[in-house]
Structure 1
Amino acid sequence: MLVDLVIVGGGMGGCAAALSACANGLRVFMTEETDWIGGQVTSQGVPPDEHPWIEDFGCTKRYRTYRNKVRDTYIKVFNVKEANPSFNPGNGLVSNICHDPRVSLHVLYEMLMPYLLTNQLQLCLNTKIISVQKIDKTIREMTFENMVTRERVEVKAPYFVDATETGDVLPLADIKYVVGAESKAETGELHALEESNPEDIQAFTYVLAMEYREGENHVIPEPEMYEFWREYHPDIWPDKYLSFFAPHPITKEKREYTLFREETGFPLWEYRRIFDKNKFDLQYKAGDITLMNWPQNDYFLGNIYDVSEEDREKHLYQAKQLSLSLFYWLQTEAPRPDGGKGYPGLKLRNDIFVTKDGLAKSAYIREARRIKAEYTIVEQDVSPDFNKGRTGKKYHDRVGIGSYSIDLHPSMAGRNYLDIKALPYHIPLGALLPKDVDNVLAGCKNIGTTHITNGCYRLHPAEWNIGEACGALVAFCIKHNINPKTVREDEKLLTAFQEELRKDGFELEWPEEFY
């Protein structure tokens, strides 16, 4: 099969790349390992983590369309009490559009529908990349396998985007990459380690969905590893892991959490709540629904890429058991304000992810393999300690903007949180381009960041912008018969490409008052 662009991975970056490339007339082949597109916002169960200006600026036009369609879907299908432009379906604390992952799945398919219906976009679900044919610095062909039917397909294209959650194309194509934490000598970063550590990778998480139905009993069978996780007390933790105590991400001091809102403590229930029943006029007696993606179910006992298949399966299993054990602890042993124990009315919502165990279809991966890029984003680029204005480094080759703090979760090397300020930043084109290959682009969390700057570039709007820029760049290169590195190196071509991005709804600068 021959197409214009192969996108490996149907997450947010992959979907955005497909939308951009198809809108520019390219024929696209996209694969996804699960049976859901959308990645972190759907199959991984993470409502959008966004910056405070997102309602007005700070994302691409297509990302804003996606957000608007999420709200519109609820307003169309429910009797919403107050349908306003800032309507938040879950009334969650983490986002202005905390919502059910199935709604994002619907919206993404709706946006891709024109291209799917005409076969301009060929989408293969449950499909994994298994081999790459590479000659010198050029990928010629990729082979994929459907994990259900075991059928294989070979696809040729002039360009490829790695939009997988863990940078799976990189080792198969022998593209140089970095794993874990760099050293101060390598990056000059204030918060880098004295010595590099490839095992210093952020925790991953298996999210689950739960509803609260007061007065009912929905207690699940005791998970197989419950006793282990019940007694587990990490050295970096102020209490047992299954408790309402965890380190404060910034101060590391002992922080108290609660399940529901009380006079003291941080209310976990409201953090990633995706359905607030009080927002709707309902005929059915439904309860609030939230997603469990909390400090207490971050898994950091081992990694799941660049390890043996046996270790990978072990850590995936243990991570699932951690989330189920935390849920069971909440049902049976969590201390209540009235002096009792447990909330048996918590109901595991298997239907939300359409999985037997109620867990998300795949683990939420915070940190992937990262390309050795033409430009690597370092802490100095985004830190207020190194930049005089209100934004980070304004790259000449910028292809978008984003904002989030440097938010690193506990690592597999035993390091605690690192949560420090980062300025609103720009996305450099050079970070999307691997040094040692000419026709592959990094389309999500695998761009040229460091372990530290990954903490602010890994969020939803930034991943979308990265992927969408990849699709636009491939179209520009095919149109002008040039390669991506030439676009970056030639000032006239770069200016022309950036102007096309602006016309297509990309924001390449923050508002004037930010500078």
Structure 2
Amino acid sequence: MEEITRDIVILGGGIGGTIAALSAAKMGKKVVLTEETDWIGGQLTAQAVPPDEHKWIEEFGCTRTYREFRNSIRDFYLQHYPVSESVKEHKQLNPGNAWVTRIAHEPLVSLHVLNHMLTPYISSGMIILLLCTKPVKAQLKGNGDFIDYVLVEHLSSGEWTKLNGKFFIDATECGDLLPLVHAEYVMGAEAKSETEEPHARDDGPLPLDMQPITHVAAVDYIEDGNYTIEKPEQYEFWRHYRPEFFSHNQLSWYGPDAETGKAKRFSMFPGEGISLWDYRRIIDSSLFKTGFYEGDITLINWPQNDYMLGPIYGVSEEERKKHLEGARQLTLSLIYWLQTEAPRPDGGRGYPGIRLRGDVVGTRDGLAKHPYIRESRRIKALTTVKEQDINAELREGMKRWHNSVGIGAYRIDLHPTTLTHQLFYAPSYPFEIPLGSLIPVRMKNLIAAGKNIGSTHITNGCFRVHPVEWNIGESAGFLAAFCAEYTLIPFDINYDTEKLKDFQALLIKQGIELHWPDKVDIL
């Protein structure tokens, strides 16, 4: 069995894990980074989800490296794409002109920029990157509160590699390392008796009641074309499926309104109503020279393909595979419905010119390499951020954390869940990320670096977005490097005023904003 020894072992190469590796390497620490797919970047790349960001993002409210990432995305389009003359001087180019984000762009461009950021450290040997690899087993030492090593499986060969390290960072999409190392964690919806959150469950926890996954698809539209796919195996099921809380079929122009819970009507294209086409559009062909694109390119991550029939972790392998395939079948069924049966404003049905674009997401079938994961296993942490810390309806003003390691902003937004099909929306204050939320209650050399931090089912609804995961991962990487440098454990920093001050000074020097200015308001 191959054996690799590094200062820091990072499991999961999504946004958080990728940036954690970059941070630690910049501090001179040797890192091994694993990723289950063959693309680093998670939501930005393999899951094909354009950045969900707050309204101040162009001015402040993110880390220096995240801003460098955004600037690099724009520079790449301006330098390498035949943009129209009117676009060349645009300082805030939005390649897709999407209304969900100010920087909608292709997953491949994100992948290019992220690889570019890591390349010097991979070339120098500071970062070893293992793609198509996942953790399968771990060994503990001491009193069971230190991780000794983690075994990972190479999915292409089935071979295992032993990863030794001083510190281990779980940045997997579902918190997959946590059960392997017997860390204390929670899943799904907590009870009100556990969190004292006003909107938590009154009748006990439901660990398998969690936010849905979505298998995103990339498509363009050729008006006179016919690219109708073969009828999906589960199409008849999804064509007639109506959740009990819907007043409409899932495959329809309606979806649940997050704010009211009532049905909201959507449409296909701009000018016909609330357009889903430009919701997550990543290429607006009008921004490029005439004829360069045959049409716009958009990513289908819509209310209609949220898969809520069951979770993909905390269940048997058979159940997991069933729901993973179910999510794929739902998205393919939505595509087929759009091509053949979707009502058009002219009275006709179907848009056969919708074409799946596997080249955009790096697959043959046009579906993303990995489903979009909204909710993970979450560590029982030294600090758990609760609804009453963020919900603007429950407090006056932002909560300030003395041990902040970053900031974020997003409304509390839970999609219909897998068991009760509950959805929840609430305005929120911009929030700060307490250091204690990255640190487990017992494990000494384990750090959380994604959606697995100390949040609740409710607050996870605003911690799950791109710039927040980036900040969490970046701070986690610096935390591991700082601890390795000074022979500390994360507990030491969280509870020692002077050490915390030194660590926060490092974060500030590295361009991480710890506090929001007073001028920001409610989202």
TM-score of the superposition, structure 2-length normalised? 0.96
Q: Does 1:180 align with 2:188?
A: yes
State the partner residue of 1:165: 173
User: Which runs of structure 2 are paired with 1:444-459 in the superposition (5 Å)?
Assistant: 444-459=450-465
Shift of 1:481: 1.5
State the partner residue of 1:413: 419
8 A contact 2:391–2:412 mirrored in 1: no
State the partner residue of 1:68: 71
Read off the aligned partner of 1:260 and give its amino acid letter. Answer: F
Partner residue of 2:127 out of 121, 127, 131:
121
Q: How far apart are the structure 2 equivalents of 1:415 and 1:146? A: 36
Partner residue of 1:355 out of 340, 344, 363:
363
Q: How far apart are the structure 2 equivalents of 1:285 and 1:28? A: 40
State the partner residue of 2:221: 212
Q: How far apart are the structure 1 equivalents of 2:286 and 2:361? A: 23
Q: Does 1:255 align with 2:264?
A: yes
User: Which runs of structure 2 are paired with 1:213-362 in the superposition (5 Å)?
Assistant: 213-263=222-272, 265-362=273-370
Shift of 1:76: 1.0
The Cα offsets for residues 301-333 of structure 1, whole Å up to 9 and x where unpaired, read as 011111111111111111100000000000000
Q: Does 1:43 align with 2:52?
A: no
Read off the aligned partner of 1:79 and give its amino acid letter. Answer: P
Q: CA RMSD in A?
A: 1.1
8 A contact 2:392–2:426 mirrored in 1: no
8 A contact 1:236–1:414 mirrored in 2: no
State the partner residue of 2:106: 100
Moved more, 75-84 or 376-385: 75-84
State the partner residue of 1:145: 153
The Cα offsets for residues 186-207 of structure 1, whole Å up to 9 and x where unpaired, read as 1111111102111210110000
Q: How many residues align?
A: 512
Structure 2 unaligned blocks of 5 or more: none
Q: How far apart are the structure 1 equivalents of 2:446 and 2:326? A: 34
Shift of 1:440: 0.5
Shift of 1:354: 2.1
Read off the aligned partner of 1:275 and give its amino acid letter. Answer: I
Partner residue of 1:510 out of 510, 516, 519:
516
Read off the aligned partner of 1:23 and give its amino acid letter. Answer: K
Q: How far apart are the structure 1 equivalents of 2:295 and 2:422? A: 35
Shift of 1:283: 4.3
The Cα offsets for residues 104-158 of structure 1, whole Å up to 9 and x where unpaired, read as 0000000001001111100000001111111221001111110102222111111
State the partner residue of 2:466: 460
Q: Does 1:59 align with 2:67?
A: no
Shift of 1:285: 4.6
The Cα offsets for residues 65-96 of structure 1, whole Å up to 9 and x where unpaired, read as 11111111111111222131210000001111
Q: How far apart are the structure 1 equivalents of 2:389 and 2:406? A: 15
Q: How far apart are the structure 2 equivalents of 1:238 and 1:92? A: 28
Q: How far apart are the structure 2 equivalents of 1:364 and 1:69? A: 24
State the partner residue of 2:140: 134
What is the percent sequence identity of the aligned residues?
50
Q: How far apart are the structure 1 equivalents of 2:37 and 2:299? A: 19
Q: How far apart are the structure 2 equivalents of 1:365 and 1:36? A: 16
Q: How far apart are the structure 2 equivalents of 1:79 and 1:357? A: 27
State the partner residue of 1:154: 162
For the residue of structure 2 that corresponds to 1:122, the secondary structure is strand
For the residue of structure 2 that corresponds to 1:99, the secondary structure is coil
For the residue of structure 1 that corresponds to 2:5, the secondary structure is coil
Q: How far apart are the structure 1 equivalents of 2:391 and 2:326? A: 36
Q: How far apart are the structure 1 equivalents of 2:481 and 2:171? A: 17
State the partner residue of 1:387: 395
For the residue of structure 1 that corresponds to 2:137, the secondary structure is strand
State the partner residue of 2:35: 32
Q: How far apart are the structure 2 equivalents of 1:430 and 1:416? A: 29
Shift of 1:241: 0.7
Q: How far apart are the structure 2 equivalents of 1:34 and 1:475? A: 26
For the residue of structure 2 that corresponds to 1:415, the secondary structure is coil
Q: Does 1:12 align with 2:15?
A: yes
For the residue of structure 2 that corresponds to 1:158, the secondary structure is strand
Shift of 1:29: 0.1
For the residue of structure 1 that corresponds to 2:441, the secondary structure is coil
Partner residue of 2:496 out of 487, 490, 493:
490
Q: How far apart are the structure 2 equivalents of 1:197 and 1:249? A: 21
Q: How far apart are the structure 2 equivalents of 1:513 and 1:362? A: 38
State the partner residue of 1:88: 94
User: Which runs of structure 2 are paired with 1:193-208 in the superposition (5 Å)?
Assistant: 193-194=201-202, 195-208=204-217
Q: How far apart are the structure 2 equivalents of 1:22 and 1:307? A: 36
Moved more, 133-142 or 350-359: 350-359
Shift of 1:228: 0.6
Q: How far apart are the structure 2 equivalents of 1:71 and 1:306? A: 40
Shift of 1:514: 4.0
8 A contact 1:143–1:155 mirrored in 2: yes
Read off the aligned partner of 1:186 and give its amino acid letter. Answer: E
